[in-house]
Structure 1
């Protein structure tokens, strides 16, 4: 038998590290803060090293704690993945994945057959929501969100590269000086995505253009709609690189990586922190991270 600490201690350590405190870890695990503290002290005594600095207002991982955490988390993820892969979904309840419509259509749907082939027992329910707040949180197992990644709770991991790229109709020739060739197209043909309106102003500033040169042609609430409009010749758009490249494979648009906007918005995968994630949720999360990393 390997001389390992009890799994319950390791689970408590991971929760306290992830949530930033013993009280929050206890609330998630159904333990009192004192019980969490007792388990952490027992773990530290077993391994012979402190894992947390006890501060007046909370705790902070020591250097060794920071080094130990990824291995503990990976061990739980591997165990969760093996359980879900072998035994499928507990009780037959499908795994509920919520994602923006554009990401669902362009990034998840074309790949989902590979997950299903590898894990046929895991049932998937894919729900599309333009705004994350519009669906009941208690029913979501995996949440794909677009933003800066700074959400108050949950296991948050970035899926895609941040920033936006300019997309234009496939037959649009911007000439030897792409920025000068773009300027007349911006006056009446800039497609705006609701919620990302500031990107065009930021693009103008980054390119040294007056903001007034960028007209408002059409406003839409999804990147997929904007891409379809670009393909139809209605105008140009600023789109997340993962969505733009996926749509470009269908034809109809050109991705101009030379006319890109740097910012911190990207797609993230979130496991809600209301309780311990379902094993198949971690399995799907890791599969999607692998798929998007390989693509990138």
Structure 2
């Protein structure tokens, strides 16, 4: 079978320049001259028949075709690197350092890590948690899972999953979920959830100042399970509590979340370790199977 592929050195120059947004930085990484990288990228563009970059005064910006082409090129190099190192590379300790928000780590990712360990028993996992994504150093992190709008500089960012918001409470709670309640649990950063919830149910005025504020979904769920009030969280976080009966849903209505979970890889990583690629692909598969 004949593959209609451009030379790999052209593709390598394109991937490095796209990741570093600079021909000069790509040249330093690949130990070539800036002129050589520029020539290889121009040759690739001529071969494909489309420009891949906009040449700016001090940097590069991918064109729409460049953006569409880059993920496939990057994935091919990642898989080739992982297979080569895995089969022929020196024996070494394999490890992946992952950081995630505490709720995602405890309620969704943590219980699934045994699946990864069964598939890759030689890989050690270091799972770090943070409440606010910007609260700690980026040093030595291979992958990070953040909740937000997907706009963070210094990372290659890809959508991991999007979920619905549902209200939950203790089965022992006798109060009703209604506007004006003072037993609502709010999660910092998502204070508008209850306002949007009640607005979606009717024209009633809602005093969204009332209630208790906590800084993560895990705390809100634990408080709700003790009967402290109602909270509204992502459905995937609530499911363990619903399954064991500690919480119930006072309404079957679901509210679209305005933000999502994203998978981040530092742009400073010239080439991810094979085990990082394995973990990334495994995580995508798990998320795809769960968030159908």
| TM-score (ref. length: structure 1) | 0.81
More helix by share: 1
Q: Offset of 1:192 from its aligned partner?
A: 1.4
- In the other structure, the counterpart of 2:281 is 286
**Does residue 224 in structure 1 map to residue 218 in structure 2?**
yes
- In the other structure, the counterpart of 1:202 is 196
What are the superposed Cα offsets for residues 239-285 of structure 1, whole Å, 9 maximum, x if unpaired? 12221234433331234674333342121111111122222222211
Residue pairs, 1:13-24, within 5 angstroms = 13-18=14-19, 22=23
Across the two proteins, how many residue pairs are aligned to each other?
A: 286
Q: Which runs of 5+ in 2 are unaligned?
A: none
* Equivalent pair of 1:161/1:242 in contact (CA under 8 Å): no
Query: 3-state DSSP class of the match of 2:280?
Result: helix
Query: 3-state DSSP class of the match of 2:181?
Result: helix
- In the other structure, the counterpart of 2:130 is 129
State how far apart, in whole Å, the 2-side matches of 1:172 and 1:223 are.
19
* Equivalent pair of 1:157/1:270 in contact (CA under 8 Å): yes
* Equivalent pair of 1:51/1:62 in contact (CA under 8 Å): no
Change (3 A) 1:94 1:81: same
* Equivalent pair of 2:94/2:275 in contact (CA under 8 Å): no
Query: 3-state DSSP class of the match of 1:293?
Result: helix
- In the other structure, the counterpart of 1:178 is none
What are the superposed Cα offsets for residues 67-98 of structure 1, whole Å, 9 maximum, x if unpaired? 53343123123224435765799742631111
State how far apart, in whole Å, the 1-side matches of 2:209 and 2:90 are.
50
Q: Offset of 1:136 from its aligned partner?
A: 2.2
Q: Which runs of 5+ in 1 are unaligned?
A: 175-180
* Equivalent pair of 1:160/1:242 in contact (CA under 8 Å): no
Residue pairs, 1:91-240, within 5 angstroms = 91-92=92-93, 94-170=95-171, 181-183=176-178, 187-207=181-201, 208-212=203-207, 215-216=210-211, 218-240=212-234
Q: Offset of 1:56 from its aligned partner?
A: 5.0
What are the superposed Cα offsets for residues 11-47 of structure 1, whole Å, 9 maximum, x if unpaired? 33124345655466557667665443222123335x3
State how far apart, in whole Å, the 2-side matches of 1:166 and 1:259 are.
8
- In the other structure, the counterpart of 1:61 is 63
RMSD: 3.2
Change (3 A) 1:292 1:173: farther
Query: 3-state DSSP class of the match of 2:281?
Result: helix
**Does residue 44 in structure 1 map to residue 38 in structure 2?**
no
Query: 3-state DSSP class of the match of 2:227?
Result: coil
* Equivalent pair of 1:244/1:255 in contact (CA under 8 Å): no
Query: 3-state DSSP class of the match of 1:253?
Result: coil
Q: Offset of 1:143 from its aligned partner?
A: 0.6
| TM-score (ref. length: structure 2) | 0.82
Q: Offset of 1:119 from its aligned partner?
A: 1.0
Deviates more, 1:284-293 or 1:273-282: 273-282
What are the superposed Cα offsets for residues 165-212 of structure 1, whole Å, 9 maximum, x if unpaired? 2222246689xxxxxx5216x612111122322333333444433231
